[in-house]
Amino acid sequence: MLALARRAREGGTYRVSVSLCQSAMLLQRQGLISGFDDAAGQLEPTEFERYAVTDDAIAYGDLKSLGPVIRMSETAPRWSGTTPRLGSSRPEWLPR
């Protein structure tokens, strides 16, 4: 998010590294994975609901997950949907 803000102010290109481990740890702290009930940094239920994203009646049933928690004035975060069922899309090359 800082790189996007800096690009908007100053222009340029920036390399960003993200941590899938930290994403998984957030899920653990929220109690969405068992065995981590006492993890630090847990959101209150009302706060979780404020950021929750639902996707009902998908291939895997109803899904509720934590959506984007950072908001920017010019670039709205979006949820493009859940992972489709394996084999549900036709394989094809996309043009460059």
- Sign for the pseudo-dihedral over CA of 46, 68, 94, 91: negative
Mean of pLDDT values over 81-89? 72
* pLDDT value of position 9: 92
Residue 61 belongs to a domain: yes
Q: Tell me, what's the pLDDT at 11? A: 92
Predicted confidence band of residue 52 (pLDDT cuts 50, 70, 90): confident
Q: Which of 47, 10, 41 is nearest to 2 (CA)?
A: 10
pTM over 0.85: no
10 confidence band (pLDDT: 50, 70, 90): very high
The reply to whether 33 falls in a domain is yes
Which residue range forms the structural domain that includes residue 23? Answer: 2-66
Residue 43 pLDDT exceeds 90: no
| Domain count across the chain | 1
